[in-house]
């Protein structure tokens, strides 16, 4: 799918990898972007950063059906269509099976993570797909593209990531059935499992912590550049034969248990 002029929804797009993707897709590829996020201040700042003429922000709770319906309607009202959905929004909440003194972790803590990281992805994907089927197929094939952002934690999670890992692994399970179903209407579904990237949050960490993270990365032995993530999103959108796959974007890194 050609990116220029296309309308791309990015959840969690007000910061980090989502914002990097928004910036790249607008400024380098000529897309129009709708940022779905809860942080209104960051969302407005992101629109100014990306370019207000080609970007919009809609305050959105991805885990809430009505909130997403309103957000999708706002995008269609301004831009007329939705062609791509990139689901970056996620909670990285630490969660163990057993908490202090060996007591079971309350189910609500686990459910809070899956509500955003799994239910939220399905919520946005399904409502964007509903709009995508109305698009004229490009080159007689494609009406839309979905990219769900998983994590290396879906494969080798660290202690304390049981909820996060479960939620990110769930996205890998969505790939094939969603791609098979939506392929009939011209929508591809893929995922990216990022490793360690130099996000604003990581930049605030102590140098010793950053050095320890780098030691677990194989080659190149550095944290990922956020533009490399954005470029991967663009590659998936543009390559019409890529479907139902997960790209591990992690420099061959495999994190240790702790």
Catalytic residues, by residue number, are 164
- Cα-flanking dihedrals φ and ψ of residue 28, to 5°? -100, -25
Q: Evaluate the CA torsion angle 249, 149, 46, 75 in order and state its sign.
A: positive
DSSP 184-221: TTTEEEEEEEE--B--HHHHTS-HHHHHHHHTT--SS-
Report the DSSP pairing between strands 187-194 and 144-149: parallel
Task: Provide the 3-class DSSP secondary structure of residue 70.
Answer: helix
């Amino acid at each position: 799918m050609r990116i220029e002029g296309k309308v791309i929804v990015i959840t969690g797009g007000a910061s980090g990898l989502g914002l990097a993707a928004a910036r790249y897709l607008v400024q380098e590829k000529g897309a129009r972007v709708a940022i779905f996020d809860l942080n209104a201040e960051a969302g407005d700042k992101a629109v100014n950063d990306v370019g207000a003429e080609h970007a919009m922000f809609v305050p959105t709770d991805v885990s809430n059906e009505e909130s997403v319906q309103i957000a999708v309607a706002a995008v269609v009202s301004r831009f007329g269509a939705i062609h791509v959905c990139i689901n970056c929004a996620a909670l990285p909440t630490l969660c163990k099976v057993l908490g202090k003194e060996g007591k079971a972790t309350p189910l609500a803590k686990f459910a809070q993570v899956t509500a955003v990281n799994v239910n939220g992805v399905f919520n946005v994907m399904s409502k964007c797909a509903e709009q995508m089927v109305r698009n004229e197929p490009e080159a007689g094939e494609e009406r839309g593209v979905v990219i769900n952002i998983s994590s290396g934690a879906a494969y080798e999670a660290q202690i304390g990531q049981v909820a996060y890992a479960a939620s990110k692994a769930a996205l890998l399970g969505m790939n094939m059935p969603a791609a098979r179903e939506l392929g009939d209407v011209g929508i591809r579904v893929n995922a990216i499992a990022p490793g360690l990237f130099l996000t604003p949050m990581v930049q605030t960490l102590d140098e010793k912590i950053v050095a320890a993270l780098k030691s677990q990365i194989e080659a190149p032995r550095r944290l990922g550049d956020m533009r490399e993530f954005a470029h991967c999103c663009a590659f998936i959108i543009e390559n019409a034969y890529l479907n139902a796959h997960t790209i591990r974007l992690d420099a061959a890194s495999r994190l240790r248990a702790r």
